[in-house]
Amino acid sequence: MSMPIHLHSELTSPPLQIECLEDESGLGYLLRWLGTNHLPFRWLKKMLAIRGPRLPDTRDAIVLSYLTGIEHDQLKPMLMKTFGNAKEGGMLVYGQQLLFRDLYRFRSPQICPSCIHQKGYISRCWEFGPIPICIEHGVYLIDHCEHCKKPIRWDRPTIDICQCGRIFSSPVNPSERPGIAELNLARWVLKPLMASESLHSLEASKAPSWMEHLSMDGALRIIKAFGICQTPYEAISSSYPWGKCTSQFWRDLFRRAALRIECFLDPSISSELCTLVYQPFLERVAFYPLTTPDKESALYLLKQLYDYEPLTHFDSAKGHLSQKRLFD
């Protein structure tokens, strides 16, 4: 079925146009622009001829450029481009390629209410499931409204108001805050998405050598490997429903991953750590890497944690994995 094609003469551009900010979410910008013009999200989907749950993406960039007044070349990188199928396909957004879509939060976006009220925009750093942290305020992100208790949606009146009509608020008594290890790990992974002034205002420790050159895809997948297991030798289903995981789930996973990565170089716990890090996920990064540093880091972790050469386990992939190690 061919997609509907709008002529510019058929479109009415809203009267108020706003600039997009440096580290603003693409979908967040569209929601802020709609709120400025007092238009609902459903109006935009109608203009883009979108039916069902699909969100605006690169296929809509030309029409969105006309409606918003933002140059096409500036707008397109802010929108997601998916490839492959829903189960195994990946995506490209903000210049970052992800080989697996389950690393991105399509359902119930997560937010930091303090940032939204103080800055007036949605950060692109909040859109990746494995990083459920606001670095600036040192708090966990939320994906449920504190008033109606329902999941937050993109289809809402404005960036700071829930679909129930109440203004977003932070938990009155947050039971927990991320620790230093979590904040450092979030800074290392989110660095490619952050505005230059935000980076200068953050004091972060230096990332371990094996993490410094990871792609965002590789870093997020390694975080999953370090944090998914709650108990030693836990088995994880290949059909795990990643796309439906809540911020609370990612919060717990990320906390475990950050603490285990921090302890990685401590020889006294290495024997215990190898029972908690999910080996098949590391092997998959080594076998299906986005970049050479991703592959080398995964091989290094497999060697250090399990003391074996992956070349003896991958058979036909030996040639693919035979390059010199970066960290030996």
Domain count, the chain: 2
Whether residue 65 is found in the same domain as residue 189? no
Q: Which stretch of DSSP H or E encloses residue 98? A: strand 96-98
Does residue 96 belong to any structural domain of this protein?
no
Q: What is the largest CA-CA distance in the chain?
A: 70
Whether residue 63 is found in the same domain as residue 187? no
Structural domain ending residue among the three candidates 74, 94, 125 = 74
Does residue 272 belong to any structural domain of this protein?
yes
Torsion-angle region of 84 (φ positive above 0: left; ψ -120 to 50: alpha; else: beta): left
Does residue 48 belong to any structural domain of this protein?
yes
Does residue 200 belong to any structural domain of this protein?
yes
Whether residue 309 is found in the same domain as residue 186? yes
Output the tens digit of pLDDT for each of the chain's 328 residues: 444 445 444 678 888 899 999 899 999 999 999 999 999 999 999 999 999 889 999 999 999 999 999 999 999 999 999 998 766 789 999 999 999 988 998 878 999 999 999 999 999 999 999 999 999 999 999 999 999 999 999 999 999 999 999 999 988 777 789 999 999 999 999 999 886 545 544 555 788 889 999 999 999 999 999 999 999 999 898 888 888 889 999 999 999 999 999 888 766 666 788 899 999 999 999 999 999 999 999 999 999 998 877 555 555 454 455 444 444 4
Structural domain ending residue among the three candidates 74, 101, 127 = 74
Domain region containing 307: 180-317
Torsion-angle region of 55 (φ positive above 0: left; ψ -120 to 50: alpha; else: beta): beta
Question: Residue 86: what pLDDT?
Answer: 67
Does residue 264 belong to any structural domain of this protein?
yes
Does residue 43 belong to any structural domain of this protein?
yes
Does residue 149 belong to any structural domain of this protein?
no
Residues paired with residue 144 on neighbouring β-strands, in sequence order: 151
The whole model's pTM is what? 0.87
Whether residue 68 is found in the same domain as residue 184? no
C-alpha triplet 299, 268, 254: angle, nearest 5°: 60
Structural domain ending residue among the three candidates 51, 74, 97 = 74
DSSP code of residue 152: P
Q: In whole angstroms, how far apart are CA 202 and each of 49, 136, 157, 195, 206?
A: 42, 8, 32, 11, 12
Does residue 267 belong to any structural domain of this protein?
yes
